[in-house]
Amino acid sequence: MHRFVAAPLAMFGLVCAVAAQDEEDVSPYREMKTLARAVELIRQDYVDEDKTDYEGLVYSALQGMLADLDPHSDFMDPKDFKGMQEDTRSEFGGLGVVVGLKNERLTIVAPMEGTPGFRAGLLPGDVLLEINGQSADKMSLRDAVEKLRGEAGTAVKLAIGRAGSPEPLKFEIQREVIKVPSVRGARVLPGDGPRVGYLRVTQFSEPTGREFGRALDGLEKEGIDALVIDLRFNPGGLLSGAVEVAGEFLPGGSLVAYTEGRSASAQRRYLAPGKGREARAYPVAVLVNGSSASGAEIVAGALKDSGRALLVGETTFGKGSVQSVVVLPDGSALRLTTAKYFTPGKQPIHEKGVVPHVIATMTAGDEARLLAARRQEDLPAGTKREEIQPVDDLPLQRAVDALRGTLLQATREGTAEPSAGG
C-alpha cells in the first residue's frame, strides 16, 4: 500500500542531506526538511500507529495546503479523482443548486430553475447547516457538493439557515438528473410605446448558445425594438455558452473576456464567434444581482465594457477564477486555481463582481415571490397554483423605462440605430 509514497519520503531524506550542506540556501529545501522531520516524528511517536502510514500523512498534508489557498483549490486522492472523472463523463443526480462560500459559510448561490432544489423552495443566500444529519459547519465546499450529488431518485435531507427565520428550515428533496432548458420566459413585455423583448438565461450549458439564438430569432420575428436579458440568479456554467451568448451582440473577433495567471498557459483570450450580428443593433439591457456568477458575470462584463448594453440591478457575485486539474503519478490530483477572469475593460471579476450602470434592488420578500412565480411556470397544466402576491420587480421596470427612453430620444433625434451602452 505504501510503496509509491515511500519514494517521495526517501526523496525528502535526500533533500534534507543536501540542505544540511548549505545552511544559507534560500530554496525550498529547508522547508522540505521540516516537513520530512515532522512526518517522521508523527510516524515514531503518535499514539495511534494505524493513523501514521506515509500515504495518509502525505495526503493530509496536501489537503491542508490546498484548502488554505482558496475555497476552489483542493486535493483529490485517487478514489476522489476517479469519481470526479466519472461525474464529468456521465449524467449524475443532484438538486440543481450551486453552492459557494460566503463569509466562510456554505451558502446557496442560486438554485437552477426547473430543478428539484428550485421546486422545493431553496433560495439564494440560504446557508447549509446540515446535509443528511451531518453538520456542514466544518465541511469543505467539495465535500458538500459530493454529498448533495448522488443517484437519481435518492433523497437528500437538508437543514437550512435563512435570514428572517428563527429556526432552521428542514427539507427532504429527491435527486434528479439535471437536464433543463437554460433559456426561458421569451416574450414581448406589456406596455405602451416601443416593443421590448425579454429573455431569461438561467445557466450556461452546451446548448445555451443555440437556445438563445433561436429564442432571439423568434422575438425578432414578433418585431421587438429593444431587449432585456435577465441574468439574475444565473450561477454560470460552461464558458463556451457564455461566450456564444455575448457573441450575439458583438462583432466577430471582439474580446469577451481574458484570463491572467503566472504560467504562459494561463494567459488566454476568449473572442466572440464571427457570426456577424450587425443587424442586432437595437438597445439591450442586462439584469444582474448578487446571485449572478461566473459565466453570467462574463456576459455582463463583456456587454458593459463594449458599450453594447445597459446593466441594471446589483453588483454580481464575484466568482471569476479558473481551476486546472493536475494529475499526480499515483493517480491523485490537484485542483488548483491558476488564473482569474477579467472583462475586456481590464476589470477583475473575482471577489469584485461586475458593477451595474443603474443600481436597482429588490427586497428579500420580493425576490422570494419572484422565484415562487417562476416555479409556477414549471407546473403542469391543471395543477393548483399557490396564491402569490404581486411582485414589485423594480430592476426590470427600470431597465424597460431606460430602453424605451433611449428609443424615444433616438426617434426625436432621427437616429436610425440607437445604442443602450453606458
Active site residues per annotation: 294, 305, 319
Sheet harboring 358-359: ordered strands across?
183-188, 196-201, 226-230, 284-288, 310-313, 358-359
Residue 164 three-state SS = coil
How many Å apart are CA 115 and CA 235, to the nearest integer?
13
DSSP character for 99?
E
| Other CB atoms within 10 Å distance of the CB of residue 204 | 28
Nearest CA to 225 out of 357, 383, 408, 79 is that of: 408
How far is residue 3's CA from residue 36's CA, in Å, rounded to a whole number?
Answer: 17
Question: All 3 cell numbers of residue 339?
Answer: 488564473
CB 175 within 8 Å of CB 149: yes
Alpha helix locations (H) across 73-164? Answer: 78-89, 116-120, 141-148
Q: How many CA atoms lie within 13 A of 217 on its CB side?
A: 6
Q: What is the rounded CA–CA span in Å between residue 267 and residue 279?
A: 32
Cβ atoms within 10 Å, residue 155: 12
